[in-house]
Amino acid sequence: MNAFERNEKALDILSKGKFLQAQQLFFENVRMAPSHETYNNLGWYLFTEGLECKNGKVRNAEKLGTYYLQKAESIRHTSVNLNNIAYVMEIQRNLAYCQTGVESRDICRAAYEYTEKALQLKYSNEAEYNRLRFLYLCDSRSTEVLSGLEKLSGQFDEPDCIEFLLNVLCIHARLHECLERLA
């Protein structure tokens, strides 16, 4: 079985709720065919699902997952790898904000830079939305955020995106446009 087949099998097993078996395949894939893809898959699994022990208990594995995601990104810059790192940073930012009540501009700036690099490799509306969110967290009055959201809202009709645009319109004292969009 090659790396691609092992990964597909792991994803299939994971979809059936067999976490320990999927986890074993992800680890085996890294051992047998180390690459940015296998490191990314293992890292994402560990970050999002945790590390299942043989006794059935699941341990938090965000640090270990982050390690593998960063290893994947250091091997090859892909939009998936870069966006996954930005997601990890968003979780870190949320945790830091919840603990201190203070925005961590350094984390937001780094996440913005990762999403910007990802967009240069492969555009997606979701990645652009995330880039704009991180830019907003760095500078809430940025006109780039407003113009970017106005353009994006025409093609990315997600409720979160529209709500974000409405909030930014209000911040930029364009309340009449905000109300028009609500109507």
Taking the C-alpha atoms of residue 76 and residue 72, their distance in angstroms, rounded to an integer, is: 6
Least confident span in 21-30, 70-79, 150-159, 163-172 = 163-172
Q: At residue 98, what are phi and psi to the nearest 5 degrees? A: -65, -35
Give the confidence band of 178 by pLDDT, cuts at 50, 70, 90. low
* Whole-number Å distance between alpha carbons of 61 and 43: 9
156: pLDDT confidence band, cut at 50, 70 and 90? confident
Q: Find tokens 């645009």 and name the residue.
A: 165
Give the model's pLDDT for residue 13. Answer: 92
Report the DSSP beta bridge partners of residue 58. 52
- pTM for the whole structure: 0.79
Confidence (pLDDT) at 7 = 87
Gap between the Cα atoms of 71 and 166, Å rounded: 38
Q: How confident is the model at residue 15 (pLDDT cuts 50, 70, 90)?
A: very high
- Quick one: pLDDT at residue 175? 58
- Taking only Cα atoms into account, the Rg of the chain, rounded to an integer number of angstroms, comes to 19
Cα separation of 116 and 183, whole Å?
33
Task: Please give the Cα distance from 70 to 55 (Å, whole number).
Answer: 29
Angstrom distance (rounded) from CA 33 to CA 26: 10
pLDDT at 173 over 90: no
The average confidence (pLDDT) of the chain is: 87
Phi, psi for 18 (deg, rounded to 5): -95, 75
Confidence tier at 51 by pLDDT (50, 70, 90): very high
Single-letter code of the amino acid located at 118: A
Q: The tokens of 119 are what? A: 């967009």
pLDDT at residue 28 in the model: 94
- Please state the φ and ψ torsions of residue 51, each to the nearest 5 degrees: -110, 115
Helices 36-49 and 79-100 cross at an angle (nearest 10°) of: 30
